[in-house]
Amino acid sequence: MKALTLTAEWSPKLEYNLSDQERETHKVKNGFMVWKNPTINVGQTADPTPKDDEVIIQVAAVGICGSDMHMYERGTDGYMLYPGLTRFPNILGHEFSGRVVEVGKKVRDLKIGDLVAVEEIQWCGECVACRRGFVNHCDNLEELGFTTPGAMAQFIPVRARYCWKLDELVDRIGDEKEALIMGAMVEPTGVSYHAMFNRIHTWQPGVYVAVFGAGPIGLAAEALAVAAGASQVIVLDTSESRREIAKRLGATHVLDPIGLDLNTSLLDLTYGRGVDFVVEAAGAPDHTIAPLTRALAVNATIAHIGLAGKPTPLSLVHYQQRGVQFAGSLGHAGHGTFQNVIRMMASGRLDMRPMVSARMQLDDAVSAFKRLESRQDAKIILLPN
């Protein structure tokens, strides 16, 4: 089959203290400290066969994520930018949907022909974290497209328990191809859903919301906030084209943060009360969360999604004075998140297709990554088949 593979040099930085497990497995927790000179190419690899609890999915649509870009891009020192869990070489791609074309012997709830979206978080279900319900923080975590082969390929094997059917979405849209495009956006939307509604239970309809970053995760957070009854949704991004997409998705205000007096601007827009709910999806908390003080409303909540590679100074005394909650968030699994996102999409309240700026063939994947370097597109969808 055809697939897009990323390769990189194993070259741990001198200051990075590798664990024995990282050294043995090459599965590292901090990719930007180990992997040098990443490159991507489209080529041929062996067709997969399913294990007893797996299905083979013919990939219909797969999105290029900001994390994919950060694995592909490198800093001035040649090291990849992505700071998270990684192992290479590996097939990229984790935001996807497709059709089941083969099922393992022990699979009961899926059949050939089913259309599905798939969780990227591959939780074990047996460790202490999983048994406590925190599957996104599994002690034995694998991540599809990060540590195991991903979906920028014609076919992919996945455990059946990570799959969610798209039946309701197909019925709503009436077009399988369009339902599969939507299905590829369940994963990034689920990341924002988990941060906003699962991690900390402070959401109330009518709140003032600020979203930092109008990439796919930030735009998903914006759309969810609109659907969940926010009275104002203020989106901040440096890209003019992404701000335009945010307008189309229902933002009440869009702002360019460059040179902006952040606190004064947000206070002006919220009648002096401040924002009640903040989503950090830009991965730049030193420029977004750190300067945010007076514009945080009493009892405000901050949901931090974007990954940053360096520590961020925070004014904790201000958080105490205002009673601010801060919730770090990772992943999208558990809590019925995929099911709920699919249902919201099927209800018509959540249509993420306006942020798709291009649909391209897998053969054109390298040029798609190159195009995304400018950060003008919100989402490019690859069509492997």
CA dist 211 and 278 (Å) reads 6
CB 254 within 8 A of CB 235: yes
Q: How far apart are CA 337 and CA 341, in angstroms?
A: 6
**Cis before 89 (ω within 30):** yes
Closest CA to 39 of 60, 8, 78: 8
Measured distance CA(366)–CA(362) in Å, rounded:
8
- Residue 137 appears among annotated catalytic residues: no
Q: Is 70 a catalytic residue?
A: yes
Q: Token pair for residue 316?
A: 């904790």
Residues 6+ apart with CB under 8 A from 376: 239, 241, 242, 357
Catalytic residue among 26, 70, 253, 304: 70
The residue from 11, 19, 67, 304 that is catalytic is: 67
- Rounded to whole angstroms, the Cα distance separating 206 from 169 reads 28
For residue 252, which phi and psi values (nearest 5 degrees)? -80, -30
Question: Residues with catalytic annotation?
Answer: 67, 70
